[in-house]
Amino acid sequence: MSDHALRLLREQPHLAELAAFPFNFDLTRADHGEAVRLASGGPLEAVAGDDTGGTYFVCGDGSVLYADSEGSAGIIGNSVDEALEVLVGLPGWHDHLGLAPADGEEKIRAAVAETEEEIREYHGIDDERAELRAGLGLPERSPVELIGLLHAALLRTEPDFLLLNAEEGGAHALLDRHPRPPLWEAVLARGRTDLTLLREGSAWDEVAEDRARRALALRAAQFDRREGDLPLLRHLLRHEAEASMTDELRLAAVLVGLHGHAEDLPLLYEVRETDFDTWCGLGGMPEPGADPAELGRWARDLDDSLFGTDPSDEPLFTWTGLAHEQGLVELARAALIRRLDDIDFRAYCDARDGKAMERRDASQLSPLVHEFEQLGDTFQALRAQRLYVPLQTRAWDRVSALLRLARLEREEGRFGAAIRTLTSLRDTLAEPDGGAGDGDGDNSLGHWQRTNLGAYIVEEHYALARTAAIDTALADEVRAVTAAAGQLLARLSGTARANAERHLAGTTDIRTDTRTDSHTDTGANAGAGVSAEPTPPQPSAG
């Protein structure tokens, strides 16, 4: 991508002045005023701004991203040269974001001419345009060509150039409002191609032995069902069973079962018996020898409740998971961030109006955390978990949510926040009902000391103490966390204590007095044989 024009603007003040006025590409206005970053983590350099508070950024591949002052952003050129062609050739380009080549030459020319006449009422653009084009070596293109360039660039904004507020994590809106294809269409493209190959009798093993391709082919078959597909569906079902219980295994079983052939019952039974997970996941399946009509009813019931033939009815997480499996990470990330932003905005509105979050939104937060973690995006996972924590009413659920929040904060390097979160967690352990004293009580944490939850709590305290030790400003807080870790470990009993000590081996100095019964739990001061003050943690990245 060429930066020839940008270099000339930086070298020749007269050309830079022309670009700034009347074409509003001002090198002296490159400060956007707030920290932003690309969701992909790609490089971003502010190079110019305009008099409305908008900023022009150059991305890693040379593309120019424009972000306005109202929270919208979009790619406007594949390079600075191309972006300047648009800005100089369409000085009222903001008014033309809704135009597309499909609108036709007559409509495009009329719209551009009307905007330019309005501009000419205040200042000249024609001589200035000719001079700047000549000085920068920009070609003279028609308005129709320029709208085509702008339109194509705008459509490239997502997923690779999704702009975020660097502190809060919310995404900027799209600069334009042109319709985009749904997520499922991009995700299914490879699956449809492979399904065609399978139907032609080729690539059976190549597709079936590749987990991602097999899953996509099955999804393509879900939405394009044909009578002749039964042999290839059987083939895919056999291979999917090797992955144990998956949504696609259940789908393959349903698609085979819908054909209602008795000879498929032994195969389906064999798949169900693969392991315990498949036995549970394919529960209710008719046994070999059953009436084929019973097989058809079983398949139809599952199809109606879990699958169907409309891809737009599938949950978002189906498509983001499949996108991730294909390596379409930014496509999955952009869709998940947009969903989280929607939930975050509605939660804000509900809180402002004194209402509880909608159940549908609340139910998606934990899966969002999981999906972001699968993508390696701890920052966005942390955003979702912060919304999730206040929704937990049972003490056990609050502690579990706080534990996950503390871990995410630690992994993001937000040690002070993680220390505060663990303090809230310990407060909940001490007073599960929040000190309400209403007599009802919350007994869900009654035996936390004997469970894996107790072991995880202790492990997270020690993990935070080790990593936060690199921040000398938190020395006192780290010592408090270390002391709390020892006290919590002393309260564990049975398998929970054994698990915690096993996982902590080699990371902290846990000294046990063999004269003390480590399986006894008598409250906060129990387990005195375990040192409440392990060796001070050393700085560690782990």
Please write down the HEC assignment for all residues of 459-496: HHHHHHHHHHCCCHHHHHHHHHHHHHHHHHHHHCCHHH
Residue 436 scores a pLDDT above 90: no
**Band of the pLDDT at 533, cuts 50, 70, 90?**
very low
SS (H, E, C) 53-99: CCEEEEECCCCEEEECCCCEEEEEECCHHHHHHHHHHCCCHHHHCCC
Cβ-based neighbours of 350, under 8 Å, separated by 6 or more: 356, 357, 358
**How close are the terminal C-alpha atoms of the chain, in Å?**
40
- Contact between 76 and 66 under an 8 Å Cβ cutoff? The reply is yes
Is residue 443 within 8 A of residue 394, CB to CB? The reply is no
pLDDT at 1 over 50: no
Instruction: Tell me: pLDDT of 439 over 70.
Output: no
Binned at pLDDT 50, 70 and 90, residue 440 comes out as low
pLDDT at residue 493 tops 50: yes
pLDDT tier, 293 (very low <50, low <70, confident <90, very high otherwise): very high
Contact 24, 51 (CB under 8 A): yes
pLDDT per position as a tens digit, 245-279: 999 999 999 999 999 999 999 999 999 999 999 99
Q: What amino acid occupies position 170? A: G
> Each residue of 503-520: pLDDT tens digit?
898 675 544 433 333 333
Query: What's the CA gap between 228 and 231, in Å, rounded?
Result: 7
pLDDT score of 150: 98
**What span, in angstroms and rounded, lies between the C-alpha atoms of 229 and 195?**
9
The HSE-up count of residue 341 (CA atoms within 13 Å, CB side) is: 16
Rg (CA), the chain: 30
Query: What is the predicted pLDDT for the residue at 3?
Result: 82
Percent of the chain with pLDDT over 70: 92
Say what the pLDDT of residue 121 is.
96
- Give the DSSP H or E segment for 521: none
User: Residue 12 and residue 209: Cα distance in Å, rounded?
Assistant: 60
64-97 pLDDT, tens per residue?
999 999 999 999 999 999 999 999 999 999 999 9
> H/E element holding 31?
none
Asked if pLDDT for residue 19 goes beyond 60, the answer is yes
**For position 2, what pLDDT does the model report?**
61
User: Is pLDDT above 80 for 110?
Assistant: yes
For the four alpha carbons of 21, 26, 31 and 35, in that order, the dihedral sign comes to positive
Interval 419-428 mean pLDDT: 98
Say whether 230 sits in a helix, a strand or coil: helix
Average pLDDT, the chain: 92
